[in-house]
Structure 1
Amino acid sequence: METNPNELIDLVRLALREDGGDGDHSSLSCVPPEATKRARLLAKQDGILAGVAVALTIFKEVDASLAVEVLVQDGEPIRVGDVVLTVEGRAQSILRAERLVLNTMQRMSGIATYTRHMVELIADLPVKLLDTRKTTPNFRLFEKMATRIGGATNHRMGLYDMIMLKDNHIDYAGGIEAAITRARTYLQATGRNLRLEVEVRNLTEVEEVLRVGNVDIIMLDNFSLDDLREAVRRIDHRFETEASGNINEKTLRAVAETGVDGISSGALTHQIKSLDLSLKAY
């Protein structure tokens, strides 16, 4: 059966196969197969927890007889020393699952923590924080789960669920009008119902999109704050607006105050330090 990169269980199985190979020889060599033990997942840094649902899937896939008690749920704050969950059962199974659970939850929690911080910076404004496709190959599903847990809105999952005409598409197509026209023709010919977003680089291109129309979202890429405000004024709610480019915790608030509908930030996923967690026997 073909692996689906958008199915959590398929990704978990691939990761276990990558790590396990022909066997966990460290555990097999020194831990009796009948031994049953306990372990608990501990927070070693403050932050926002993410990945509990993935951890449960991992434990179940490794050994369905493992008993897991969840003490902190996805999206809840954790502090140093908090016990996130406990697991009990075959010692060899706990050891096999340990690193994949930690790697996944640490990265997801780091993303959720930073995302929550960013969301809180603009919580009082009518704007959405959006994630991007700047994700780790074969880990996108988990990273986008983490941004959602942190409070951001998932933008497109991949190339297949939206048409986004960026600068290279436009240049290759022969300009904004040609790109939009061809995209609409393609959607009609293939019977697909996908939203269409077009990237613009300056106010002149904003005017061209307004003239051509037939889009759902206008992405304002690397605009100055003054030009963002002017673009929002000119678009005047005829299309959704998205600001993009150099969005981080230092620039986010000022961009949000320009009146755009959404702000996309690759920093949510590609500049993240994992949150420190550990799985310890007790």
Structure 2
Amino acid sequence: MITLKNVRFKVGKHNILNNINMKLKRGKVYGLLGPNGAGKTTLFKALLNVIEYKGDIFKDYNHVTIGKLIEYPAFYPNLTCVENLKLHASYADIEYNDSIVNDLLGIVGLPDAKHKKFKELSMGMKQRLGVAKALMGNPNLLLLDEPTNGLDPMGMKDMRNLIEQNLKGKQRTIVISSHNLNEVSFVTDTFLFMREGKKILEIDNNEDIYMFGRVQQIPDHQNVKQAVTLLEDNKKEIYFLLSETNFNKLKTTNDFVYSDVQNLTLENLYIKLMSTDLIEVKSYV
């Protein structure tokens, strides 16, 4: 759907985005993970074309519309939900009518709050109204920056259900930036890890446990290449990342030579990536 090639952004001498390469596929939900200052929000701004980045962002087809919830949802406190959405639509030149606005409020679970003023809403309701705003115009790329920020456990669950049941679709790509690993893991197809402006790892979300270790030799077979993810540190030491199932298959072969194996949860994997200089490599050893 959208391909980023060597996307860079610098403020003074500081690289905020450093040669980002990735492809966002239609129908997928991506979890963008990284600490504050990793470049997640700046990457969203590059996708929105509101900063002067270097590199290229290609769209696979002409009509890509983008909806966004970036940082805190901005609304007029003394206007109602309906009034705020209609005002946004008029500013953004988006088609709207009472039926469209009512449908959007129904999708995000606010049908009974449409005449409430924004200042009267709970934090969770404000976030959901922000999602309704992002959905105006039926975007096929949806960018959600910390959508569960400030929410209590029930609000987080509501947001998760909203994404899973109402926002996902075959024609829509969703990118969710979050610090809440547990919540984002429920709805994400693929994790994108960022550190210091770099994309350091892309991995499918289909495992509860990841097997990580040093590698000296891996079988040179196509199916193995597709199953294993390789990382290296600044000393050029090579490490593997595998599902538990694929690791158990590989370790029975004579030409898989490894050591120092660890079982990592998503949280453990995140901590390891953010506390080291490991980065995914595309070359195959």
**Structure 1 or 2: more helix by fraction:** 1
**Structure 1 or 2: more strand by fraction:** 2
- TM tier, smaller: under 0.3
User: Which of the two has higher C-alpha Rg?
Assistant: 1
TM, length-normalised to structure 1: 0.28
TM, length-normalised to structure 2: 0.28
